[in-house]
Chains A and B, each alone.
Chain A
Amino acid sequence: MSLAAVDTKRKLPDLDRVPRVDEVGVNERVARFQSRSIKKESKLEALKMVLSMIDLTTLEGQDTPGKVRQLCQKAMHLHDAVPGLPHVAAVCVYPTMVGVARQALEGRGIHIASVATAFPSGQAPLNVKLEDTRLAVEQGADEIDMVISRGAFLAGDHGFVFDEIVAIKEACGDAHLKVILETGELGTLDRVRRASALAMHAGADFIKTSTGKIQPAATMQVTLVMLQAIRDYFYETGRMVGMKPAGGISSAKLAIHYLVMLQETLGNAWMTPEWFRFGASSLANDVLMQIVKQQTGVYQSADYFSKD
């Protein structure tokens, strides 16, 4: 979806007009989503949707080309024993590994997402962040996952944070930009709501919860708040923005709760990999185990699913 068609005059929104958030109310709404009972066909459908929405991720200091190639292998062959499974949406790696991933995945329809902008801390000058971004794009990244400057945001320098996102968005060129808020450092749901509005007005194609490098990472609570922000932005501007919770979602059961939350907050249009991703590594195998259990009726063992 082209950004150019909508709202090219990017302006820092008035964050005081963003609705307040009540934490207890959010917890109760989340509990209600978790009480949904997803069974039989709807469960199988959900499990396959989850698979198709995964950004299979490796972001370790110890990553090597070998590791990344093995990850890409898994991305292409989740579990060949079961035919007809969707492939994951993307692999997510550091900029220095984008080239390796590109070679491994050439022509397979799996996107390559790269973190950038001095991930995960974001503590670097703008020129370093821009260079980081350009390198990833040149190497062939389809998507850039950037981090916002949390320090500046917490200090109230919203203009600085806004301008950074605008600049990185420009450096992305045709690549899609995901903006990581690092909700675990923002402290309150009110700040999460405001940061979401800020990021979207600055041009984000996706807003993302976390780097996955600190606790807490993604929670249903912050995700709900971000989905609400996306809804408000959609009503205001007509532009859809995607959402990605990352880190801490390792069970299929939890991932399905997220899908319930997505379905009942934003509706059908967002229920595709184009608009929703899970940033996860071990989630895929749990989903595969549940798919096989749904199909055979028998509980599975991790021994039968490849670990890459």
Chain B
Amino acid sequence: MATPENKLAFDGGWEYSPAPESTDHIKVQKKYELFIGGDFVKPESGKYFETINPATEQRLSRVALANDADVDKAVKAARKAYNGPWSRMKPAERGKYIYRIARIIQERAREFAAIESLDGGKPIREARDVDIPLAAAHFFYYAGWADKLEYAFPGRGVRPMGVAGQIIPWNFPLLMASWKVAPALACGNTVVLKPAETTPLTAMKLAEVVADAGLPEGVVNIVTGAGETGASIVSHPGVDKIAFTGSTEVGRIIQKALAGSKKKYTLELGGKAANIIFADAAIDEAVEGIVNGIFFNQGHVCCAGSRLFVQESVAEQVIRKLRDRMETLIVGDPLDKNTDIGAINSKAQLETIESYLEIGRQEGAEMYQSSCPVPDKGYWCRPTIFTGVSQSNRVVQEEIFGPVLAIQTFRTFDEAVSKANNTPYGLSGGVWTDKGAKIFKMTQSVRAGVIWANTFNKFDPTSPFGGYKESGVGREGGLHGLDAYLALEA
């Protein structure tokens, strides 16, 4: 007798005791200066700003605020290093420096993971098992390309672009830094990197790694600051290439600002990916894929599977299993090894997410959240799903950047594809089916830069990543990721 009353109970039984990651071995300074020309130098502005732990709202450190003069210093240092030792160095030797960075990150992996978790709010398990190993792997991968570039572009000679200005977001701080710095250096460029203002610490630890690895001074410069520091980099005439990862809104501003200049740019922007589950999917694994798609990293993922499309004949089954699975997700202290969903990165981001929850309610959507407890202090959002929504809802159209999933049903392949493409974004998509032919047809039909079939949110340094349409232009990772940092010549 099939009855919705047959329920499973997940809480109030065997509870996991706290399992905190130890932090007695990590070193975080009370204050960080700017890393320019191989040294840590005081900011011209004389100003510093705080970075806090979003799980406790406690201050972790103060970092320097770079103004136009600081950015100018950094760009000049990068130019000097480019004209000097870096472009004169044999590519194989350049590669060995990048290998050193990779190796040292591996050696300091646990410290990096703990600091990443403290500064940004992500669970230590994810920082430890995903962010840090992938960051090291990116440096390893691109180190190997340094002396092999002639094989990547048939019929073309290659030349570095010069000085790259790189602006990265707060959702995967060290990983995003590795995605930018590693290929830029491998291709012979020098860099000025600006981490996000809420997550500067692992970038400063990376600066220490760069110094310890003995890279020539000025090859990597790291300047901390907020939007104005970023704008200063974008508009500096001494920069040849801008690489930006962040919101589509800011990406537009940057593209506009660069109009008429000779600067090259690549942009990695927002997304509202469709995750499509067919009736012939491996259902339990698909449910896990939904969870990985939208609750991984608190949903602070540009390629998050934030629009679920489930074939109507299995919708009830899928949603019921999803709710069960949501009940076992642990929201809490990011430094606890059992935490699945950490803190929302900042008060501002939490307010954005909560405003969308309110919009959803006002639009008449049904909202369901898991029942887990959350701590008193800090910024938290329970995993949330919206049903009773369609393509016209704002919570379906707009990027929320939180652990919030909008669920729709579909009936045919063509309907799913049409709705998946019915968005200005085009970063990623997911398809769950046991039928191979359908996977390849999906790959052909969905207009997005990354298609995950029977998996989701998988990243690898060898695998190109980037968007169609308003999700950005250019690719990072893999052989195709070299394009962003080389000028090709006949």
Contacts and interface: CB of A to CB of B under 8 A. Distances in A.
Interface of A: 6-7, 19-22, 24-26, 28-29, 35-43, 45-46, 49, 228, 231, 234-238, 259, 263-264, 266-269, 271
B125 interface: yes
Given A38-B19, A267-B9, A20 B281 contact: yes
Contacts of A45: 14
Interface stretch (B104-112, B201-209, B284-292, B384-392): B284-292
B17 interface: yes
Given A20-B280, A35-B125, A235-B320, A25 B14 contact: no
A264 B9 contact: no
A161 B14 CA distance: 37
Contacts of A267: 8-10, 13, 324
B490 interface: no
A268 B13 contact: yes
A266 B8 contact: yes
A21 B283 CA distance: 8
B2 A25 contact: no
Interface in B1-16: 1-3, 6, 8-16
Contacts of B9: 267-269
Nearest to A21: B282
Interface in B221-235: none
Contact of B284 (A21, A35, A38): A21
A264 B10 CA distance: 7
From B12, B14, B454, residue with most partner A Cβ within 10 Å: B14
Given A228-B284, A268-B14, A269-B9, 16 more contacts: A19-B283, A22-B282, A25-B284, A25-B285, A29-B285, A29-B288, A35-B337, A42-B14, A46-B14, A231-B8, A234-B8, A263-B10, A263-B13, A267-B8, A267-B10, A267-B13
Interface in B64-100: none
Instruction: Give the secondary structure class of B's interface.
Output: loop
B1 A22 contact: no
Contacts of B312: none
Closest 5 CB pairs of A and B: A25-B285, A268-B13, A37-B19, A22-B282, A37-B337
Interface residues of B, number: 35
A238 B1 contact: yes
Contacts of B212: none
B455 A24 contact: yes
Contact of A236 (B2, B283, B434): B2
Contacts of A228: 284
A268 to B, nearest CB: 3
A40 B454 contact: no
B178 interface: no
A42 B15 contact: yes
From A43, A264, A271, residue with most partner B Cβ within 10 Å: A264
17 contacts: A19-B282, A19-B283, A20-B434, A21-B284, A22-B454, A28-B288, A35-B125, A38-B17, A38-B19, A40-B18, A42-B14, A45-B14, A237-B2, A238-B3, A267-B9, A268-B13, A271-B13
